[in-house]
Amino acid sequence: MPLARIPRRKPNRVAMLMLHTSPLEQPGLGDAGGMNVYVVETAKRMAQSGTQVDIFTRATSSELALKVELAKGVNVVHLSGGPFADLRKEELPGQLCVLAAALARVEAHQERGYYDLVHSHYWLSGQLGMIAAQSWGVPLVHTMHTMAKVKNQALAEGDQPEPSARALGEEQVVAAADALIANTEAEGAHLVGLYGACPDRVHVVPPGVDLEKFSFKGAVGKQEARKHLGIRQDALVYSFVGRVQPHKGPDVLIRAAAEMLQHDPSLRSRLVVAIIGGASGSNLEPQRLRELTNWLGLNDVVRFEEAVANDSLPNWYRASDVVNVPSYSESFGLVALEAQACGTLVVASAVGGLRTAVADGLSGLLVDGHDPKSWASVLLRLAHEPERRVLLATGAIAHAQRFDWERTARATLRIYEDILNPAQAKDRALA
């Protein structure tokens, strides 16, 4: 029978796993970040294409319902495992057996073959995914998001290295997965080179951005955003958006601001450095940044803001002249993409996925290393070159249009289908 006549099996239901953070949590607080956005946005669009998605996460309160509808065709299912509160991400491996039992109880109430495959996000979920996929007799798809071996190659000052147990756990997941989804070619190369992944099982699918929510509204949009946030119209706004932790490098921006003002004190009257985000991991990091700000004499310049709701985030992007992403490693960097979609140029570290998220010299600038003097040099030039800022901002809008969640979801669904139809996928690859 010709290949075209063979019916192609499509996934009806997918079990997604993200244990250590819930899709219902606000990105920028605790352990919630880009991964939360990634899972929610792709799941919504998969559901719109006809694939139901159940996202399993650990319950952090006894008052949470077992199942919460996130969107039509997308449910969040809470698994009980360990104490509801005060359980750190690093302690979750000790609860995997309990969580596996909780997942098995949920699945036992469904008819056999209810889920077509398991898609786990982050290594902890991958460990549970291995158990579920084997038990249910379905394929396992895994997305790393971050990797211990990559993070340990570029630690920030005060950052703790990832334990060897995590690296070992990641190796186990890589070996067990039927497909591995990487955000960029660089991440795919890390999976092969550092973890021994089979190249045929590695698929590169770039994340997206909500181009309706994060959009450019011109000079009027910038003026309105600044008015709403209480920022002077003539201010020079350099912002950081993300979880406040050493690995994200917010201190690099603060130190760079001090260097800038040392070289050009005239900027002080209008420079605003906005640090937007909540504590992640150690709650001491926000306090450390405030102490650093005070020690550098920047209390009149640096503005600390708690993490804002996703609907309000575009205001900060539009109000900013430059959004800064000084991360020490980044699997992609959704903040950079969101900012560019709003028409704001990005200055980012030349690491990991940021090399893809930012088109150096076209939509923003990439900086080698994290020396505050190097960052200050770049930011100071931009402060004195408004025409260049406009040019890069124009490029930022165009660059962001290359990424959208519809494309991400479609590419992921194609990977699912290839796994469920191995013979057809092999024939197509040989064609």
pLDDT of residue 1: 44
Please tell me the class of the 218-400 domain: alpha beta
Contact criterion met (CB below 8 Å) for 387 and 393: no
Entry pTM = 0.90
Per-10-residue mean pLDDT, the chain, length 431: 65 94 78 87 96 94 88 94 76 85 86 93 95 95 95 87 94 98 95 97 96 95 96 97 92 98 97 91 80 97 89 94 96 94 98 95 97 98 97 97 96 97 67 52
pLDDT of residue 425: 61
Contact criterion met (CB below 8 Å) for 320 and 237: yes
Distance CA(305)–CA(336), nearest Å, equals 18
pLDDT of residue 411: 97
pLDDT of residue 279: 78
No. of H helices and E strands in the chain? 16, 14
What residue segments make up the domains of the chain, in order of their start?
Answer: 8-208+405-430, 218-400
Structural element, H or E, at residue 322: strand 322-325
**8-208+405-430, what's its fold?**
Rossmann fold (3.40.50)
pLDDT of residue 5: 58
Q: Would residue 42 be called left, alpha or beta, if left means φ above 0 and alpha means ψ between -120 and 50 degrees?
A: alpha
Q: Which two tokens stand for residue 187?
A: 């991440």
Distance CA(242)–CA(323), nearest Å, equals 11
Distance CA(13)–CA(206), nearest Å, equals 23
Secondary structure class of 10 (helix, strand, coil): coil
For 72, other C-beta atoms within 10 Å of its C-beta total: 9
Query: In CATH terms, are 8-208+405-430 and 218-400 the same topology?
Result: yes
pLDDT of residue 282: 54
Distance CA(63)–CA(68), nearest Å, equals 12
Distance CA(398)–CA(323), nearest Å, equals 17
Q: How far apart are the first and last CA of the chain?
A: 16
pLDDT of residue 23: 87
pLDDT of residue 159: 84
